[in-house]
Amino acid sequence: MVDPYVPTHGNTGYKVESYDLELDYRVNSNRLSGKATITAFATEALSRFSLDLNGLRVTKVSVNGRRPRRYSHRSGKLYITADIPDGAEFSVDVQYNGNPRPEDSPWGELGWEELTEGVIVASQPSGAATWFPCNDEPGDKAHYRISITTDSPYQVVANGRLVSRRVKASRTTWVFDQAAPMATYLATVQIGRYDEVDLAAAPVSIRGVLPTAQVRAFRHDFGRQQDMMKLFCRQFGPYPFGGYTVVVTDDPLEIPLEAQGISVFGSNHVDGRRGSERLVAHELAHQWFGNSLTPASWRHIWLNEGFACYAEWLWSEQSGGLTADQQATKAHTRLRGLQQDLLLSDPGPELMFDDRLYKRGAITLHVLRRHLGDETFFELLRTWTKNHRHGSVTTADFIALAASFSPDEEALRHLFASWLDSYELPPLPRRR
């Protein structure tokens, strides 16, 4: 499927089952050599298909172990001419190299980016193709094996379980396996001169990977991460992955970012005063809303950001700050004074990361909580994450499930129509 929000990315005619990436990276020269083995199945008979790959040079392609009739690489697309029957499983090997760099986009630079010493990969929504050939659209989730060889002084973090680490001379190979299905934009590699800090063993293993100079402040600023995890596991259901890693880069970042099983913060988010704690909660919540439950297309982005923003309010309520009700009132007052040109159910690419989407999405959930009552509302959220665990979701999916929890389906559908499908900001309903 090609997503209209990112029309130059994504490809039709097949679904990916797995990516096996063998990467070799030289930090000093920013030189990446890679081999990607992509296993997919055809959803229609194919004579030609394409993959997304941007800014790197393709040196060899094979399909099912054989050279294809033809391939060409231009304008961020690798076109491969080969006959694949409808429903057939097939594999594609792509060898490539070059100096990876972020892709310019309407949302800033995305993808593989050099730090002062190391690498950050931040791909949402369309940066994955800067470091591996892929079907770069959110609804095509796959299994990943990622092997990275780099200079031994550097620590490497990637998605999933670290299955091996081998040192040979001055270089180390790190191999990660992500068994849970993952969207391309959530795949990541982080490289830096980092130390590792254990934060918690239960209910989920939580660790920090960060520069030595940040460790003391980090232990304070992220010291309540375990309490957040316990709260969210109660409210949202079991944590969906095997563990959780927080990376802090040695460079400042404008905003933190989530990847599957990982959140990445800049040095500016660690101040020793918990000044970014709402963002700590926000990124953790994305492990449920965005990473396990991934939007089938980008028009459903409020299912990521509205839920993660509401998680900030739930943590504030739990930790002695403003209640969710006070947060909703405060956010509603602010939104009333802003332009009313945002449609939450289909914001368009220009507004998909607008702060108004985050806040209006969170208010929508709070209004739903008032409508259902606390017990039913949180049971709805736990059912939502259970029913769609590791899947792709739409707004219609959430509305249909919520309707089954509501004693007044007509009122509930009016609620969603007002908050999701209308530009005008509805008034906050009075507390019953």
Average pLDDT score over residue span 10-34: 98
Average pLDDT score over residue span 295-309: 98
Q: Of 20, 9, 25, which is closest to residue 98 (Cα–Cα)?
A: 25
Average pLDDT score over residue span 129-141: 98
> Which segments of the chain belong to CATH 2.60.40.1730?
14-191
What DSSP character marks residue 428? Answer: P
> Which CATH superfamily hosts domain 14-191?
tricorn interacting facor f3 domain (2.60.40.1730)
pLDDT tens sequence across 59-105: 999 999 999 999 999 999 999 999 999 999 999 999 999 999 999 99
User: Looking at residue 432, what is its pLDDT?
Assistant: 60
Asked if the model's pLDDT at residue 1 lies above 90, the reply is no
Q: Of 422, 409, 426, which is closest to residue 335 (Cα–Cα)?
A: 426
pLDDT tens sequence across 328-340: 999 999 999 999 9
User: Looking at residue 430, what is its pLDDT?
Assistant: 77
| From 10-19, 138-147, 291-300, 422-431, the region with the lowest mean pLDDT | 422-431
pLDDT tens sequence across 255-288: 999 999 999 999 999 999 999 999 999 999 999 9
Question: H or E stretch including 246?
Answer: strand 244-248
pLDDT tens sequence across 203-258: 999 999 999 999 999 999 999 999 999 999 999 999 999 999 999 999 999 999 99
pLDDT tens sequence across 327-374: 999 999 999 999 999 999 999 999 999 999 999 999 999 999 999 999
The DSSP secondary structure of 63-116, one letter per residue, reads ETTB--SEEEEETTEEEEEEEE-TT-EEEEEEEEEE---PEEETTEEEEEEEET
> What proportion of the chain, given as a percentage, has pLDDT over 90?
98
Class of domain 295-420: mainly alpha
Q: Of 198, 188, 119, 111, which is closest to residue 151 (Cα–Cα)?
A: 119
User: Looking at residue 2, what is its pLDDT?
Assistant: 85
CB distance 190 to 264 below 8 Å: yes
Question: CATH classification of 195-287, choosing from 3.40.50.360, 3.30.460.10, 3.30.360.10, 3.30.2010.30?
Answer: 3.30.2010.30
Instruction: For residues 157 and 175, give the distance between their C-alpha atoms in angstroms, rounded to a whole number.
Output: 10
> Which segments of the chain belong to CATH 3.30.2010.30?
195-287
Instruction: For residues 144 and 94, give the distance between their C-alpha atoms in angstroms, rounded to a whole number.
Output: 15
User: Looking at residue 277, what is its pLDDT?
Assistant: 97
